[in-house]
Amino acid sequence: MPARATDARRAAVLGKPIAHSLSPVLHRAAYDELGLTDWSYERFEVDEAGLPGFFEKLGPEWAGLSLTMPLKRAVIPLVDEISETAASVDAVNTVVFAEDGRRIGDNTDIPGMVAALREHGIEQVGSAAILGAGATASSALAALARICTGEVVAYVRSEARAAEMRQWGERLDVEVRTADWADAEQALRAPLVIATTPAGTTDALAAAVPERPATLFDVLYEPWPTELAARWSMSGGAVVSGLDLLVHQAVLQVEQMTGRSPAPLDAMRRAGEKALAAR
């Protein structure tokens, strides 16, 4: 049932650390645009140990929660059901509180990635490369399961990480081959490169960007642009940013929590860009 503008409802993002989160900026911009004047969206620093206690204190005024690291798996035992998308990667980044009291977990990162790529004209690719093998890399694999028709090569630093990525590939029905990080320059020739590593990790690859690069999806948004993204863009390649991902996954969260669709994508993006520029 769609929310009414007079409903006083609460939502928030949880994680640790959390002070850097842009989620409040994006969600509040959506509420303003949708006329939900009595809605609020806050941030709370919560770790895995404190998450059950936080849930116990939630009242009927709560509409939903956004979850970031390290809570995306810790929250699963605290919800009543999770979507197939969330189950596919054992990660929940969204909890919606239904009118009947059920807590429903979902993952908007995966469809958010697909939507961000689609916005940049990427509907389908024949192959792709992933830089990194952490939690975001598994979400990237799940996104590629929807749009990639061929092989995905994951560039990783250890055999343990390589084994994890191959396991994720089997689970998600994606053809995954792993390669050593020392050969990561080869990834840059792929039709789609998804960089899922922490800030600074891919800087050394910037000098190896080919003359005619295809598409780079760099999940970072601060600092932006990364050295790799800047060189990629200078060379004429298409670049999808972490802000693109953040906005698209937040759009889906707003729609689920408020019952209003479509969420105001452009207003949310402008708010995010303004907040980043102010930093």
Q: Which helix (H) or strand (E) holds 9?
A: none
Q: 234-244 b/e with 16+ CB inside 10 Å = b?
A: eeebbbbbbbb
Catalytic residues: 72
Query: Reduced to 3 states, what is the DSSP secondary structure of residue 67?
Result: strand
Question: Around Cβ 10, how many Cβ atoms within 10 Å?
Answer: 17
User: How far is it, in rounded angstroms, from Cα 187 to Cα 141?
Assistant: 15
State the residue for tokens 């560039």: 155
